Structure 1
Amino acid sequence: MNDVRFSRVIDGMRFPLIYLVVVAHLIPFTVQEVTFPATGNELYVLISELFSHHISKISVRCFFFVSGYFFFQKCTSNLFQFAVLQWRSRFSMLLIPFFVWNIITILVIAVKNVLFEFVGLARDVEYVHVSKSTILQLLWTNPINFPLWYVRDLLCMIALFPFLFYYIKISRHFGILALGAIYLMNFESTIPGLSTTAIFFFSAGAYFSIHKKDLLHVFHGVKVIALLLAIAFLVLAVLANGEPNHEYFLRVFLITGVVSSINLFAYLEERNMLPSNMLGLSSLTFFIYVAHEIYIINFLKGFFYDLEIYENGWIKIVCYIIIPLLCIGICMVFFYVFQKCVPRIVDVILGRRPKKQSHIPEQVDEKLATNVA
């Protein structure tokens, strides 16, 4: 497989996927029933449910899949030596940002609420949540910066990778099919970090790497059936919103949606249609990933939701489009200001190697894992 081309495909996917992450957080996690849109409000419900609760979920699944692929890309016959190198590099690149950004979130919540109390305003729900939670809950079980559940689960996959390696090596595609069946049957572990989402998609990506499969070639061969299934099960999932069978439809869509997304960007890359300004943005996309939930997106939502005209369904649709763009724009401003003023601190909190080690090639999976795909 042409890993250089695949790396370019993933590089082109990074920013659109992080946009979907922001879109996923525009509405509450509770799903709403979708009806035929006869009014602006009903059309808003359809659009927001379609993107925030369905299409946007493809992003993190892609991150797990590609992280699994690149993690095992340079796996050697000396698994012990490979394990030592990977644990040393990956944990340092993942653990520091994971804990730092959770702690930053706690500190920002505390400072905001101290200021609120000083001027006579009530404390917000985030402060109440922090005050009633243990450190273990805030930093691991349910990360206070909740998008970091992805990094938590990825850390667990890295910790367990020798077991995954032998499982995939011995069972081959039968093992991946078994994990896929468990995922599709909606079985879930109660252990934080061991979600079937992480286990299946990380292992599926690892399978292609361990067994030296040409991923782009395989996906291209099933592009039509994958796209048709993705469309069909997306429709079924949206129509079944809130029903017991919704999650089953959704999971079929997500598997075929990951395949179709990679096929789409492979098509764009093959025809040189990937905008150059969307490439090489690993650090920026990770910053958006970890920073957007620290009051930025909630402030924007609160501002627009408090407008009198927001009750109009068509205005809701316009705000649904504007808010993620504004949120990403604000994050970009913060990123470039911090990058200019405190570059060393930015390196640390983003898990980047110091500049003096820049001669060491940074792998795409490290960008994907520590700088969010």
Structure 2
Amino acid sequence: MRQTLPPDQRLSEVVRALRFPLILLVVFIHVPLASGEGQVLALDLPGSSYSWYQYISRALSFILGDMAVPMFFLFSGYYMFTKPKVWGTKAVYVGEMKKRWGTLILPYIIWCTASLLADQGLALAKGEALPWTSLGASFSRLSYTFVLGPENFPLWYVRDLIILSFLAPVIDWVSRRAPWLLLLLFLLYLANCCPWEIPAPRGVIYFTLGAILGSRRIDMVALAERGRVWVLPASVIATLLLPFCPEAGVLGTLHLLYVPLAMAGALCLGGWVYDRMPKLHHFHLSMEKYVFFIYVAHEVLILSAVRGFLYRHGWLETVWGYFLCGGVVVGICLIGYAILSRWARRSLAISLGGRL
């Protein structure tokens, strides 16, 4: 029988165990071709294999996948503010920002640079002209590589997390003194009225939600489990039906409302796995060390090479090809991690911000 843990420890274990399934979702978000995003399926879905690929890939990559990155923002905000700190003091603020240099900023620079070098190397191999012909062109490419893109596109989450870290005193004040501002921001987000793009409004919302919960030491898993009788069925039904719902117009609001529902469902499911399936829970915990590497590395040539191979052979836009692509990408990342951790352990640790 499982030993009963203190609530804080159970919460920590559930959050850590969820990170691996969530990073798998992040990989599968990027598997379908860009043309598949935003597609609305017909309600009379025919039985062809391509139709099933459209439905499954949309349900997993563009519906369920929408909650993966917001959950990482939620976790980051929660654990950044769960320990009381006087963010308004210079010593605390400077000390915390110094920590972010090694854990966030340096890995961000390294992996954006790796993606840039890989892209330029491919361009040279193909005999294409490089964009460094003038100061303006070079500045434009560098600004895209490290800010506007970024070059390693999934790292927009780290870019936004860096910005939110610098805004920690403001977020701390909001979370403790004016949490109602989050509701106002969420309503603006639903109305598509947020007047900025970087950091992403959804990142600000869920990071701040995590800060509000963390500053009050509210167990987010226990909170979600209070409504599990309806949360889990509702999130499953919504996941199955939303592929038929357009993301534009009035009905698009349903997709935005789905995200917190799915997040609550994931927390409930994580708690259930912890309580009822200890072997699976421990497997997820054992895979946590690979999460950040899979995240930063999978878009650096790996996904494009695997997806390109499957696409050229007509296998990508099939159900089995969809899962094969994601599985092979993750497998290559795991092999790459094993090789680097054996032969370049220190360099790997630096590139992962000490997450080794």
Q: Which one of 274, 283, 290 corresponds to residue 277 of structure 1?
A: 283
Q: Counterpart of 1:342 in structure 2: which amino acid?
A: A
C-alpha deviations, 1:188-224, integer Å up to 9, x for none?
Answer: 343422x211111011111111123232222111223
Alpha-carbon offset, residue 73 of structure 1: 1.4
Q: Summarize the Cα distance change of 1:319–1:13 in structure 2 as closer, same or farther, 3 Å threshold.
A: same
Q: Counterpart of 2:32 in structure 1: which amino acid?
A: I
The equivalent of 2:311 in structure 1 is 305
Alpha-carbon offset, residue 337 of structure 1: 0.6
The equivalent of 1:344 in structure 2 is 346
CA distance in 1 between counterparts of 2:231 and 2:155 reads 29
Structure 2 residue ranges without an equivalent (≥5):
1-5, 131-136
Is the 2:8–2:219 Cα contact (8 Å) retained in structure 1?
no
Q: Counterpart of 1:343 in structure 2: which amino acid?
A: R
Q: Summarize the Cα distance change of 1:321–1:78 in structure 2 as closer, same or farther, 3 Å threshold.
A: closer
Alpha-carbon offset, residue 67 of structure 1: 0.6
CA distance in 2 between counterparts of 1:56 and 1:351 reads 25
CA distance in 1 between counterparts of 2:140 and 2:250 reads 33
CA distance in 2 between counterparts of 1:59 and 1:151 reads 14
Alpha-carbon offset, residue 131 of structure 1: 7.5
The equivalent of 1:362 in structure 2 is none
CA distance in 2 between counterparts of 1:327 and 1:351 reads 22
The equivalent of 1:176 in structure 2 is 182
Structure 1 residue ranges without an equivalent (≥5):
125-129, 353-366
Bigger shift: residues 278-287 or 323-332: 278-287
C-alpha deviations, 1:97-153, integer Å up to 9, x for none?
Answer: 111100011111122222233xxxx689xxxxx989431122111101000000011
The equivalent of 1:106 in structure 2 is 116
Q: Counterpart of 1:137 in structure 2: which amino acid?
A: Y
Q: Secondary structure at the match of 2:259?
A: helix
The equivalent of 2:62 in structure 1 is 53
The equivalent of 1:85 in structure 2 is 95
Q: Which one of 12, 37, 58 corresponds to residue 17 of structure 2?
A: 12
The alignment status of 1:160 with 2:167, answered yes or no, reads yes
Q: Summarize the Cα distance change of 1:248–1:176 in structure 2 as closer, same or farther, 3 Å threshold.
A: same
Give the total of aligned pairs.
340
C-alpha deviations, 1:35-76, integer Å up to 9, x for none?
Answer: 213321111111111111111121111100011100011123
Q: Counterpart of 1:115 in structure 2: which amino acid?
A: A
C-alpha deviations, 1:291-349, integer Å up to 9, x for none?
Answer: 111121111111111115x39x7xx1110111111110011111111111111111111
The alignment status of 1:95 with 2:95, answered yes or no, reads no
The equivalent of 1:208 in structure 2 is 213
CA distance in 1 between counterparts of 2:268 and 2:231 reads 10
Q: Which one of 139, 142, 155 corresponds to residue 146 of structure 2?
A: 139
C-alpha deviations, 1:236-279, integer Å up to 9, x for none?
Answer: 53212354235311111111111110111111112325342321
Q: Secondary structure at the match of 1:9?
A: helix
Is the 1:237–1:247 Cα contact (8 Å) retained in structure 2?
no
Q: Which one of 63, 69, 72 corresponds to residue 72 of structure 2?
A: 63
Bigger shift: residues 177-186 or 32-41: 177-186
Give the CA RMSD over aligned residues. Answer: 2.5
Q: Secondary structure at the match of 2:331?
A: helix
Q: Which one of 330, 333, 340 corresponds to residue 331 of structure 1?
A: 333
Is the 2:59–2:242 Cα contact (8 Å) retained in structure 1?
no
The alignment status of 1:238 with 2:243, answered yes or no, reads yes
Q: Secondary structure at the match of 1:105?
A: helix
| TM-score, normalization by structure 2 | 0.88
Q: Which one of 220, 223, 226 corresponds to residue 221 of structure 1?
A: 226
Q: Summarize the Cα distance change of 1:206–1:241 in structure 2 as closer, same or farther, 3 Å threshold.
A: same
The equivalent of 1:75 in structure 2 is 84
Q: Counterpart of 2:61 in structure 1: which amino acid?
A: S
CA distance in 2 between counterparts of 1:63 and 1:292 reads 17
The alignment status of 1:150 with 2:157, answered yes or no, reads yes
The equivalent of 1:254 in structure 2 is 259
CA distance in 2 between counterparts of 1:264 and 1:323 reads 26
Q: Secondary structure at the match of 1:248?
A: helix
Q: Sequence identity, in percent?
A: 24
Q: Secondary structure at the match of 2:280?
A: coil
Q: Secondary structure at the match of 1:34?
A: coil
Is the 1:229–1:253 Cα contact (8 Å) retained in structure 2?
no
The equivalent of 1:22 in structure 2 is 27
